[in-house]
Chain A
Amino acid sequence: MNDKTIKQESKRLIRLTVNGEPSEIFAAANETLLSALRNRLDLTGTKYGCGTGDCCACTVILDDEAVLSCLCLVRELDGCSVTTIEGLSDGTRVNPVQAKFAELGAVQCGFCTPGMIMTINALLSENPNPSEAEVRHYLRGNLCRCTGYVKIVAAALAAAKSMNGDTAKC
């Protein structure tokens, strides 16, 4: 392997499915998923908090798992599927977790909210009926610097309840 071979690898076309839509990014090696979402795809709902995996504001769902987009390199994600906060709503109806955040006032400055909502959605798909302790444990990495988490946890529990209610009706 010579330097030319390495250089040729320096940019590459990466195909992702983002919020159900196919997306092509000509990505450099050092491009994070967070940066691609915000700066190339204009999906600015996903927030840049710390950049080092400590705050979880940049949480997205990657192939059914919650991950930190600030620590994912786009170049390693060819063929993957990503869901961001923008992908939770169909444009007319919001996701049940979003609905409960609005209803119960679980938002203050709003910066942590997309990460919170993505993480709670990941929790509810694993465990549709979590206890309050389970919600708090699952959200332990998602930092909110405005509130005391009380309304956020309440919104998660209320969303679980409303989603279980919907399932029962089907």
Chain B
Amino acid sequence: MSTRVLTEFSLLTPQTLDEALEFAGKLGDRARFLAGGTDLLVKMKIGAIEPEILIGIKKIRQLRAISYDRESGLVIGALTTYRDLCQSPATGGAYAILRDVTDIFANEQLLNMGTVGGNICNASPAGDLIPPFLVLDARVELLSHAGTRSVRLADFFVGPGKTVLRRGELMSRVTVPALAADVVGGFLRITRTAEDLAKVSAAAVLAVRKGVFADVRLALGAVAPTAILLPQIEAYLEGRPADDKTIETAANMVAELISPITDLRSTAKYRTKVAGIVLKRAINLCISRRPKL
């Protein structure tokens, strides 16, 4: 299979959201939505998938927007690019965790092309935006010709590349509730080179109040069939002193909670060994970012 040629397919380019949903509703499994193309077209080039019809949605401008207010929190349209994400004033402060993703992103060109909705719907266990959005307690809005539903991101993924998206459904936006003023977040990952996918990634948001952990949410990527939250470790940290001993104990709990595989990027053994360390670093990154009193 040559990466030079894309096998034939039909391309529809709806100009409005209604038109896109109508196409998707009528075509069902025959069609797939195309956003930034940085995952889908690569998969087609290497022959991993051969969709009959693509529905290109780039022209639907209303899907590319970011806004923030106390009431609705952060609202990110599915076609928002990584570049939009790192440049928007809405992703400052506690949402800096999203800029951690764009800071280490593969290259500048893909920042301009890849989209938030694409990264989430691609549902890679190693998708970089997924652990941050999980710890931010994001919800996704799914539209179809039949109506709209809102799903917790934690309930969205079913397995590698698999989600609860139904036939004809389009993710239109991601919403993140407003955070308490003292909550901080951080994301990091281990890769061989900058352009690789993560071997292991970790995201954390938390606050430290009167010396103890509060509002802790933790997630890991690339160590299970989907990115996962770690409620057991969150519960352990909650109310315990924010010191090295507590963090070390938390990190040691990780190995029991994950089910990594061996693939071309890493081995299950290595992932098991480093996942706790990466989580510890994410927690410490949060602590280093606490607002100065």
Which residues of A, 55-103, contact B by the 8 Å Cβ criterion?
56, 59, 65-68, 70-73, 75-76
Binds A, one of B10-18, B121-129, B176-184, B224-232: B10-18
Query: In the complex, which residue of chain B has the Cβ closest to the Cβ of A5?
Result: B12
Contact with A along B219-253 (1 / 0, CB 8 A): 00000000000000000000000000000000000
Question: Which candidate, B50-58, B69-77, B140-148, is the interface stretch facing chain A?
Answer: B50-58
Minimum C-beta distance from B19 to chain A (A): 10
A residues near B56, Cβ cutoff 8 Å: 73, 75-76
B27 within 8 A of A: yes
Q: Is B160 an interface residue (CB 8 A)?
A: no
- Is B11 in contact with A9, judged by CB distance below 8 angstroms? yes
A119 engages B46 (CB within 8 Å): no
Contact of A48 with B4 at beta-carbon distance under 8 Å, contacts A141-B194, A142-B107 already known: yes
Given A6-B10, A71-B42, residue A51 in contact with residue B107 (CB < 8 A): no
B window 27-80: CB within 8 A of A: 27, 34, 37-38, 41-42, 45-46, 53-54, 56, 58-59
What class of interface size applies to chain A in its complex with B? 35 or more
Contact B37 A6 (CB under 8 A): no
| B219 CB → nearest A CB, Å | 26
CB pair B11 A29 closer than 8 Å: yes
Shortest CB distance B113–A (Å): 6
Q: Which residues of A contact B2 (CB under 8 A)?
A: 51
Is A168 located at the chain interface by the 8 A CB criterion? no
For the complex, count residues of B whose C-beta is within 8 A of A.
38
Indicate whether A6 sits within 8 Å of B107 (C-beta atoms), given known contacts A1-B23, A71-B113, A73-B56: no
The contact string, 1 if C-beta is below 8 Å from chain B, for chain A 104-140, is: 0000000000000001001100000000000000101
Residues of A with C-beta under 8 A to B42? 52-53, 71
Give CA–CA (A6, B37) in the complex, Å: 20
Contact (Cβ within 8 A) A73 B11 = yes
Shortest Cβ gap from B279 to chain A (Å): 26
Which of B5, B7, B11 has most A Cβ within 10 Å?
A: B11
Tell whether A32 pairs with B6 under 8 Å between CB atoms, given A71-B37, A71-B41: yes
Docked CA distance A102–B123 (Å): 45
- Determine whether A54 belongs to the interface, using a CB cutoff of 8 Å to chain B: yes
Is residue A23 within 8 Å, beta carbon to beta carbon, of the partner chain? no
Interfacial chain A residues near B194, Cβ < 8 Å: 140-141
Cα distance A54–B9 in the bound complex, in angstroms? 24
B110 within 8 A of A: yes
Judge whether B256 is part of the interface by a CB distance below 8 angstroms: no
Given A9-B12, A52-B46, A141-B194, A29 and B109 touching (CB < 8 A)?
no
Residues in chain A near residue B263, CB distance under 8 A: none
Question: Which residue of A has the minimal Cβ distance to B30?
Answer: A6
Contact partners of A28 in chain B: CB under 8 A: 8
Q: Does B267 contact A (CB under 8 A)?
A: no
The 7 closest A-B pairs by CB, nearest first: A141-B107, A51-B3, A29-B11, A30-B6, A65-B112, A1-B26, A6-B10
Enumerate 30 A-B pairs (CB-CB under 8 Å) in ascending A order: A1-B22, A6-B12, A6-B53, A9-B11, A29-B8, A29-B9, A29-B54, A30-B7, A35-B4, A48-B4, A51-B2, A52-B42, A52-B46, A56-B107, A65-B83, A65-B112, A66-B108, A66-B109, A67-B109, A68-B110, A71-B37, A71-B42, A71-B113, A75-B13, A76-B58, A76-B59, A122-B108, A140-B107, A141-B107, A141-B110
